[in-house]
Amino acid sequence: MSSFSLHGVAVSSGITIGKAHLISNALLEVAHYEIPEKGIAAEIKRFNEAIKSVKNDLNAIHKALPKSLVGDLHAFLNTHLAILADKSFLDGTKKIIRQEQCNAEWAIKLQLDMIIEQFDTFTDAYLRERKQDVIQVVERMLKVLLGHQRAKLNNGSKQNNGKDIILVAHDISPADAIQFKHNQFAGFITDVGGATSHTAILARSLNIPSIIALQRARDLIKEDEVIIVDGSQGVVIVNPSKEILDQYVLRQQQWQLEQQKLSLIKATVTKTVDGTAITLLANIESDESIAEIHASGATGIGLFRTEFLYMNRSLPPDEEEQFIAYKNVALAMKKSAVIIRTLDLGADKQANLSNIETSNTALGLRAVRLCLTEPHIFHTQFRAILRASHYGNIKILIPMLTSLSELRQTKLLLAHAKETLIKENIPFNQHIQLGGMIEIPAAALNAKAFARELDFLSIGTNDLTQYTLAVDRTDSTVAHLYNSLHPSVLFLIANTIEAGAKLGKSVSVCGEMAGDIQLTKLLLGMGLRQFSMHPSQILSVKQRILQTNLNKVTKVVNRILKMDDLAKTEMQVKKLNL
């Protein structure tokens, strides 16, 4: 076995050593081969057995669903079971096996192509969306027929809790990644993706070493090969020699020791050397992350990305389900702030809901635009958040604002949701604070107006960088052009921080920049006093802050902000960290 290494974009640090487990896109791997006449009956039997196996799997998932996840997942599983029982699908596939004398996988693929063609002609959005269900069921069937490691994954998790399994995938959707949260793996690597794509953000929240944009990892790495994932350097070493392995075991131990040392500052008050207090908040994707937040030393939640509540299901969560999720977080955080961002669906964050159609482009109908177009989404979510506000210190954050008119329409809808609760005598915090994400250049340039009309601002540097530089944050082919240190991006961030300071409104950064220790001093020098990041990054950022002399750093940063050349800016930021 030859040893080789791959380089990608590190998204979650730490070192892990384990065995590769390939996550496949089964549809891409279907081969066509002929079945002799006398083998047809056996091939049909193989097809029937695959159907039975998938049905058993789905029924087992159905039974094992934790109460907190039940909701619409039952309906989702039932849809999949119904597809498996569909007579025209079953008979059609068997007919192809007989007539074409081909393998079951190929017949399924042909049958799927025909079905997809029909779905594409439907004008009804609900029916069109069912196509996705059929594809998912077919994927499951193909994985069984191709002998994929579905069973092995389960065995692996049983035998060793998945502790030495490293997932190797071409790409993983945010919806898939959130499902991985329910399993334990040692590492996670993909061929594509950008450092601030939602898949990367979720990989980070899995809290295991992860690397993306490795280009051909899925092709080059074989099942069960031993791999080292160095999530700090973005390097994967496949089939390492004994010497390399020993070196990495040592480095892994050192890294773990450093993490233990960091935990000693958990209770230390966060302030710079010259005594300026800094607030460190956590970003979360579900109400399941509370234990992690408490362990991180975060003093509140700066960004609750609610769109993940809408994924892996066919209908959105209703008011009651959302209320319970928000209330759980509010109660768990006691008096600490919980900033709940309203639905930011669209572009790379797709939920495939049957009754909500979102744009799949970054410039389309997404986030607040979607909620204003379909006000019932806003109404349900506002009511749920407002009801939960009675149980803790909740604030509302609106994503992707571009203009004041969007903000005003949003305020009207919020006021209407409040009125309905008052009429029903349902308690809520009538003075709930309203904040806005500054993540579109138009909003950052007009930050003063947004600061005037809002209680607080939160800078989404992930999108702000994408939109300022016209670089798709999910596209690995332009990842080298995605750089938040670009003078124009820094100008917009500085403009927003200044607008907040002038009007006495708090400003935080909740994009990935906030958790990058290479940028902590820069942001402090720019005047930022509130950071929100993934819980696993909080202690390292805190350590940086405790070592920062704010006076000194501010002077250097003021000079950096005058630079107009990215290369020079990068060099100076590097120096700042020496």
Considering the rule CB under 6 A, would residue 305 count as an interface residue with ligand PEP? yes
Cβ-based nearer residue to Mg ion, 208 or 396: 396
State the binding string over 333-372 for ligand PEP (x if CB under 6 A, else -). -----------x----------------------------
463 is a site residue for ligand PEP (CB under 6 A): yes
Amino acid found at 103: N
Is residue 439 at the binding interface for ligand PEP, with CB under 6 A as the rule? yes
Q: Does 204 bind ligand PEP (CB under 6 A)?
A: no
- Three state DSSP letters for 203-261: HHHCCCCEEECCCCHHHHCCCCCEEEEECCCCEEEECCCHHHHHHHHHHHHHHHHHHHH
Using CB under 6 A as the binding rule, whether residue 131 contacts ligand PEP is answered as: no
> Strands across the sheet with 210-212, in order?
4-7, 235-238, 226-230, 15-23, 165-169, 187-190, 210-212, 9-12
198 is catalytic: yes
Residue 481 CB, shortest distance to ligand PEP, in Å, is 17
Near ligand PEP by CB under 6 A: residue from 13, 103, 328, 462: 462
Site string for ligand PEP, 514-553 (x = CB under 6 A): ----------------------------------------
Under the binding rule (CB under 6 A), the answer on residue 511 touching ligand PEP is yes
Tell me whether residue 102 is one of the annotated catalytic residues.
Answer: no
Please give the DSSP secondary-structure letter assigned to residue 182: T
Residue 510: contacted member of Mg ion, ligand PEP, none (CB under 5 to 8 Å, by partner type): ligand PEP
Minimum CB separation of residue 510 from ligand PEP in Å reads 5
CA distance 188 to 206: 9
463 contacts Mg ion (rule: CB under 5 A): yes
**Out of 14, 194, 209, 460, the residue judged to bind ligand PEP by CB under 6 A:** 460
- Taking the least distance from each CB to ligand PEP, the nearer of 133 and 344 is 344
Stretch that binds Mg ion, among 150-158, 288-296, 457-465, 559-567 (CB under 5 A): 457-465
What, of Mg ion, ligand PEP, none, does residue 213 touch, CB below 5 to 8 Å by kind? none
Q: What one-character-per-residue DSSP string does 322-387 give?
A: HHHHHHHHHHHTTTSEEEEEPP--BTTB----SS----SSTTSS-HHHHHHHSHHHHHHHHHHHHH
CA-CA distances (angstroms) from residue 83 to 77, 89, 115, 254?
10, 8, 12, 51
Task: Single out the catalytic residue among 198, 371, 486, 534.
Answer: 198
Question: Which of Mg ion, ligand PEP, none lies near 383, with the C-beta cut-off 5 to 8 A by kind?
Answer: none
As beta bridge partners, residue 5 has 237
* Element at 546 (helix H, strand E): helix 538-546
Strand partners, 436: 398, 457
Binding range to ligand PEP, per CB under 6 A, among 2-10, 353-361, 414-422, 461-469: 461-469
What lies within 8 Å, CB to CB, of 250 at 6+ separation is none
Among 13, 205, 410, 461, binds ligand PEP (CB under 6 A): 461
Closest approach, Cβ 512 to ligand PEP, in A, equals 7
The DSSP annotation for 424-487 comes to: TT----TT--EEEEE-SHHHHHTHHHHHHHSSEEEE-HHHHHHHHHT--TT-GGGGGG--TTSH
Q: Where are the alpha helices (DSSP H) in 16-149?
A: 40-64, 73-84, 87-100, 104-121, 125-145
Q: Applying CB under 5 A, which residues contact Mg ion? A: 439, 460, 463
Q: Applying CB under 6 A, which residues contact ligand PEP? A: 201, 303, 305, 344, 439, 460-463, 510-511
> Which amino acids are annotated catalytic?
198, 510
